[in-house]
Amino acid sequence: MNPERPLAEGGINGQTGGVRSLIDVQSLARELRGDVVLLDVRWRLGGPPGIEAYRRGHLPGAVFVDLDRDLAAPPGPAGRHPLPERQAFQDAMRRAGVRDDALVVIYDEADSTSAARAWWTLRYFGHQRVRVLDGGYHAWVEAGRPVTTETPKVEPGNFTARPGGLPVLDAEGAAALAKSGVLLDARALERYRGEVEPIDPVAGHIPGAVSAPTTGNVGIDGRFLPADLLRERFAELGATDAAEVGAYCGSGVTAAHEVLALTVAGVPAALYAGSWSNWIADGTRPIETGDQTGA
């Protein structure tokens, strides 16, 4: 399955045609004077739980959203972090105060990995005004902005989840795209090559996929590279706005970061939400190891 791709919304600073995907600290500080829903999505694979960091300090007014509980369905054959059901996601976002007409700004610790998953999921379910704080909590603190331990009182939101806002791939679509277009593997290179696999029971990658670790999307401070550098990076891998592009990872979290980086670069891309953990659930699917076979 490979639905029609939406228009690109990248460009300089992730902006084209008035649609923005990233926001910096200074701009967020200004926006907080208005109607903004602020979501804290700090998370780390294997823990500790992000709520612990939230309780130690968070941006004023931010509501904690749990990636495992609120941004994914329970693990199973569909993957370790399958897409949440429409109603479950809508309920979670309403509890967090998300409204259809409000700007939603999301942050994590620094590199936007988990924030990107929230960004992608909200966009997929139809919310149009969603941005990620570039550099996350670290950037906010380093800029001398205030933090708090106070949990805000949240007025329930009215967000209505409408699936289909961004393109997705299933296993069949990912396999086809790896042959006809560009399928990017967002995991670390060692996992792509099949040299190590610390999480899933089988190592390797989808045949024809191209290695593109998400660590190459950001600098040492966790902020995204400028749009022109991201465009150059992805173009070297064959991923341009003239190609059909998709991304996957282990469970659909870091792949959302890849899609966000591609969006900033002006390259529309589909997400294989089930990713590697779904691919290997069917033992008949082929597996490759070693260096990339793509562009």
- The secondary structure of 5-22, three-state, reads CCCCCCCHHHEECCEECE
Of the candidates 216, 167, 213, 172, the residue with the CA atom closest to the CA atom of residue 193? 213
Q: Which 3 state secondary structure label does DSSP give 64?
A: strand
Distances (CA, A) of 148 to 93, 159, 214: 22, 26, 30
Give backbone dihedrals phi and psi of 210, rounded to 5 degrees, phi first. Answer: -110, 130
Q: Which 3 state secondary structure label does DSSP give 133?
A: strand
CA distance 71 to 53: 18
CA distance 293 to 108: 33
CA distance 203 to 234: 24
The answer to whether the peptide bond before residue 77 is cis (omega within 30 degrees of 0) is no
Q: 60: which 2 tokens?
A: 């004023």
Q: 70: which 2 tokens?
A: 């609120």
Instruction: Name residue 26's amino acid.
Output: Q
**Catalytic-labelled residue, pool 41, 122, 249, 261:** 249
Tell me the β-bridge partners of 19.
16
249 is catalytic: yes
Active site residues: 249
